Structure 1
Amino acid sequence: MFDEGQLYSPVTTGEDGTVEVHLADNHPGLHDPAYRARRSHIAAAAINAPAGTVPVIDYTEDEHRIWRLCQEQLAPKHEKYAHSEFLAAKHRLRLPTDHVPQLDQVSARLRPLTGWGYRAAPGLVPLREFYADLGARTFNSTQYLRHGSEPLYTPEPDIIHEVIGHGNQLASARFARLTEAAGRASLRLETEDAMKFVADVFWFSMEFGVIKEHGEVKAYGAGILSSFGEMDEFGHMEHRGLDLADMGTLAYDITEYQPVLFCAESLDELDDVVGAFFDTVDDDLTECLRARAAHR
C-alpha cells in the first residue's frame, strides 16, 4: 500500500529556524556532509519562499553535470521504451539538456501547452494537499538533485523525477487531464482509506503505468520514464490488465523495481477505465472495490 512518508527524506525546522533534511541510513549521500548541507539549504529555500513564489536555486556545476548525464542516458531509452504520447509531449516541452532548469522556467513552458505549473516543495507534501494542488493544475516538486556518486539512481523523488518524468508527462493534454482528474477526485473523498485508494491507482497509472502500442508494451508512467534501471526492467515484469480493485489494493515496495504493472490496451482504454474512475470516484466506490478485492 502507498505510504506517503516513505517517499521523501523527512525535513525538520528547529526552534532557531534551522532547516535539516534527514537522510535514510541507506541513502548514498548520508555520509557526505556537503551534500547534506546542500539538501538542507535547498529545502530551506522552499520553506522560506514568500507565498506564491518559487525560489531560484543557484545550481552548481556538479548538479548541472548530473542533469546532463541523466538527460543523455535517458533520451535513447525514451525513444525505445516510451509511448508515443509521452514522446510527442517531451518534444513539445523541450526541456534543456545542458543545465538544470528553474521550476518557473518549466512552468513557463508548460502553461501554454496544458495550463500546468510547478510549486517548490522542501520534500514531502501531505497527501491531500498534494492532490488538491493537482486538481488546480499545480505540481509540487522538489528542487534538489540525487547524490553524485550514483547519478542514475535516486531513492526518493528529485527534480529529475519531478521534471523529466512528470513534466514531460504533463505536456501531454491527455496525461495532464488524467492527473488533474486524480487531484479533483481527492476533493470528493472524506476518508483516508479512500484517499489512499486513489493514490494507489495513481501510482499504478501515472507513476508506473504501461500501455500497448503497435503490439509492444510501452511506458507512460513518470516513475518508469525517469528511471534508467526501471526502463530496462519493466518489460520483464508481470503485466496485468487494468483492474481498479487490484490497482487500489495491491501491496508494493517502492525501494524495488515494480514486479507487477497494469497495462492498458490503448490510450482510449486508459481514459475509459482510469480516467472515468478519477472522474467519478467517491468513498462508497472505493469501499466496494476493496470488498471486491478481498473476496477474490
Structure 2
Amino acid sequence: MFEDGQLYSPVTMHDDGSVEVHLADSHPGKDDPEYLRRRGEIAAAALTWDRAGGAPLPTIDYTDAEHEIWRVVSAELAAKHERHAHSEYLSAKSALGLPTDHVPQLHEVGERLEPLTGWSYIAAPGLVPLRDFYGDLGRSTFSSTQYLRHASRPLYTPEPDIIHEVIGHGNQLASPRFAAITQAAGAALTRMESETAAKLVADVFWFSMEFGVMHEDGDLKAYGAGILSSYGEMDEYAHMEIRELDLADMGTLNYDITAYQPVLFAAHDLGHLEDVVGAFFDSADDEACERLRADARRRGLLGEVAHA
C-alpha cells in the first residue's frame, strides 16, 4: 500500500515556474527522468488551476502508456472486486460506470457522480492540507490527484494516484449511503477547534472509509477505498486482526501507513456502520472527541500501536 511515511510526494514550484515532484528513494519512478518530468507537468496543471476564478478543471492529455496502465489495473481490480468488495460498493460501481479503456478526466468523473449523489471532483497536485481536504468533503467535493503510478509496477503504488482516488473513492462515492458518511466526516472535522479532535475524526475516517471492512452473508467484505484500490491488500485484509467497530479504539490507534493495515474494524452491516460511524460524524464536537480519548485512556488503548 502507501509507503514512505506520508501519503503524497512533496511538490515544489520553482521561481522559473517549473514544478518538481520529490519522489522517495524507494519510488519505482525515482530514477526515471521522463516519469519525473511527467509528474511535474501534471502537478503544474493543478497548481496553476484557477479554482477561485471558476476555471474549468485542468484536462490532462494522457499518453497511450498511461491509458494502458489504467486498462491493466481496472481489469485486475475488477476481478478482485467481485470476490472481495461489499455489495453496496459493487452496486455503486455499476451505477457509476467508469471507463475501463482509458483514464477519465476529473470533470467526467464528476459528471457521472453528480446525478447519483451530488458529488464532484477537483484537481490537486498532491497533498492537500487536512482541513482544506475535509472542508471540501463537507461540501461533497473530492480533491484528487491526476497522475498515474509508474509503468514498471502497474499493480503497485507508494502513494495515492488517480486510480486510488477514482476507482477507490469515486466508486464508493457513487453510493448515496457511503457518500453521506463521507460528507458527514468532512463536516465533522471542520467543526473541530482542536487539532487533537480533528486528528481523531480523521483517524476514524481512515479506519472506516479508507480501510473499512464489513460482514456480509457470512463473509468479510471490504468497502474502504484504500483496500479496494490496492491489488495486494485485497488478498491480505481478511487475515488481519479484525476488531468490532469502536470509536475510541479507531480514533486513537497508532498505525503505520507504510504497510498493509494489521488491524481493521468490521461493521456488522451497513446499518451498523451508519449507526456508529455515521452518527458520530453527524454529531461529533471537541467535547465528544475528548470523551472518546478519555475512554481510550481508561481502557489502556491510548498510544497503542497496531503491529503486523
After TM superposition, is the score higher than 0.5? Answer: yes
- Give 1:166 shift: 0.2
State the Cα distance separating 1:50 from its structure 2 match.
Answer: 2.3
2:21 is equivalent to residue 21 of structure 1 = yes
Residues of 1 paired with 2:254 and 2:153: CA distance? Answer: 27
Alignment of 1:145-224 (within 5 A): 145-224=148-227
| Residue equivalent to 2:72 | 69
| TM-score, scaled relative to structure 1 | 0.97
CA distance in 2 between counterparts of 1:211 and 1:199 reads 19
Deviations along 1:175-198, whole A, 9 cap, x unmatched? 000000001112211011111110
Partner of 1:121: 124
1:17-69 per-residue CA deviation (whole Å, 9 max, x = no partner) reads 22111001111110001001100000000011222331000000110010000
Look up the SS of the partner of 1:199 in the other structure. helix
Q: Name the amino acid aligned to 1:213.
A: E
Q: What is aligned with 2:142?
A: 139
Q: What aligned pairs does 1:224-239 form with structure 2 within 5 A after superposition?
A: 224-239=227-242
After superposition, the CA RMSD in angstroms is 1.3
Letter in 2 for 1:205: S
The residue aligned with 1:42 is: 42
State yes or no: 1:6 paired with 2:6: yes
- Percent identity among equivalent residues? 70
Give 3-state SS (helix, strand or coil) of 2:8's partner: coil
Shift of 1:291: 1.5
Q: Deviations over 1:214-269 (max 9, x none)?
A: 11110000000000000000011111000000001111111111100000001111
With structure 2 as the length reference, what TM-score do the two structures score? 0.94
- The separation in 2 between residues aligned to 1:250 and 1:146, in whole angstroms, is 29
Whole-angstrom CA distance in 2 between matches of 1:11 and 1:192? 24
- Counterpart amino acid of residue 27 in structure 1: H
Structure 1 match to 2:246: 243
Q: Which amino acid aligns with 2:70?
A: W
Q: 1:63 & 1:164 partners in 2: Cα distance?
A: 15
Q: Unaligned 5+ residue runs, structure 1? A: none
Matches of 2:255 and 2:270 in 1, distance apart?
Answer: 25
The amino acid that maps onto 2:35 is: Y
285-294 or 214-223, which deviates more = 285-294
Aligned counterparts of 1:196 and 1:216: Cα–Cα separation in 2: 31
Aligned residues: 294
3-state SS of paired residue (1:164): helix
- CA-to-aligned-CA distance 1:127-175 (integer Å, 9 cap, x gap): 0000000000000000000001110000110000000000000000000
Residue 191 of structure 2 aligns to a residue whose secondary structure is coil
State the Cα deviation string for residues 76-101 of structure 1 (Å, max 9, x = none).
Answer: 11010000000000000000000000
Tell me by how many angstroms 1:293 deviates. Answer: 1.0
Q: Tell me the residue number matched to 1:281.
A: 284
Q: In structure 2, what is the Cα distance between the partners aligned to 1:142 and 1:213?
A: 32
Which residue type is aligned with residue 25 of structure 2? D
- In 2, Cα distance between the equivalents of 1:10 and 1:82? 32
- Rounded Cα–Cα distance in structure 2 between residues aligned with 1:47 and 1:140: 13
Specify the SS of the correspondent of 1:261.
strand
